[in-house]
Amino acid sequence: MDRLQDIKSYAASLGLVHTKNELEELIHEAENAEAGYATFLCEVLGSEIRYRQNKARERRIKEAGFPYKKYLKDFDLSFCQSITKKQLNQLSELTWIDGIYNLILSGPPGVGKTHLAIALAFHACEEGYKVSYTTMQSLMQVLRTQEIDRRSRAKMNRIRKSNLLVVDEVGYLPITATEGNLFFQLISELQEQTSIIITTNKGFEEWAEFLDDVALATAILDRLSYRCDRIQMSGKSYRLENRKSFLQKGAERNEIS
């Protein structure tokens, strides 16, 4: 018993949290497997590494700020035929993040833009990349208040350190001239260090309208599209096609009324 406490104390001093907390279980498993000393030591260290990797992955996902989880395996290629299975596989390899390429997903609501953006970003988190997610509206709020608000400043610091930034719903709401300039400054700052995914319901020719500045729209698109793939997503709205209702239909509905 004293020896176990000594080992736990050593583990705590070395910062081996998982080993300290799971020592009895690790020893029990080794005894059942009749493991040798080298095998046991390898399992202890491997278990500690896996624990740290899992905790780091959970932390990256939490700090990314996703509104919900989406997975690449659930992306319905039969419904969204604007992207091929080969293209999806290429995107899932994440080499475009290493090359600091951008991705612009454009199209009407409900065609899978946000699902694909979040799924790719979530996958990137799992693979060790630092990711930040924001809607355009939230980004404008953070950019406007970063000088006076601690949380906004922390959010911007994380964005600047990210390997991948997702800006969702670009163009859904008009922005002011000041906000447009702040957005331009951010895109310019990130263009050589961070990959960006943009989801938008606007075609390139419509960016001048919601930015209310042709020159600014041209400058932003010039930087975004320098190293970039654009996927024009089309088709019916997945949400409308799969709309759910809790009200009963037909005669049963009449009985309720």
According to DSSP, the residues that pair with 131 across neighbouring strands are 164
Other CB atoms within a 10 A radius of the CB of residue 129 amount to: 18
Nearest to 117 by CA among 79, 154, 64: 64
Ordered by where they begin, the domains of the chain are 2-59 (no CATH), 72-241 (3.40.50.300)
Whether residue 183 contacts residue 146, with contact meaning beta carbons closer than 8 Å, is answered with no
- What is the rounded distance in angstroms from the CA atom of residue 57 to the CA atom of residue 131? 11
What is the rounded distance in angstroms from the CA atom of residue 187 to the CA atom of residue 82? 26
**Would you put residue 242 in left (φ > 0), alpha (ψ -120 to 50) or beta?**
alpha
pTM of the model: 0.82
Task: List phi, psi (to 5°) of 111.
Answer: -95, 5
Are 139 and 183 spatial neighbours (Cβ–Cβ below 8 Å)? yes
CA distance 187 to 191: 6
Half-sphere exposure of 180 (CA within 13 A, CB side): 21
- How far lies 130's CA from each of 56, 68, 74, 147, in Å? 10, 17, 22, 23
Question: Along the 257 residues of the chain, how does pLDDT read in single tens digits?
Answer: 578 888 888 788 888 888 878 888 888 888 888 888 898 889 888 888 998 999 999 999 999 999 999 999 988 877 777 788 899 999 999 999 999 999 999 988 878 899 999 999 999 999 999 999 999 999 999 999 999 999 999 999 999 999 999 999 998 888 888 999 999 999 999 998 999 999 999 888 888 888 888 999 999 999 998 899 999 987 564 444 555 655 566 545 454 44
Can you give the C-alpha Rg of the chain in angstroms? 24
- List Cβ neighbours of 50 (8 Å cut-off, separation of 6 or more): none
CA 102 to chain centroid: 14
d(CA 118, CA 74): 12
pLDDT at residue 194, rounded to an integer: 97
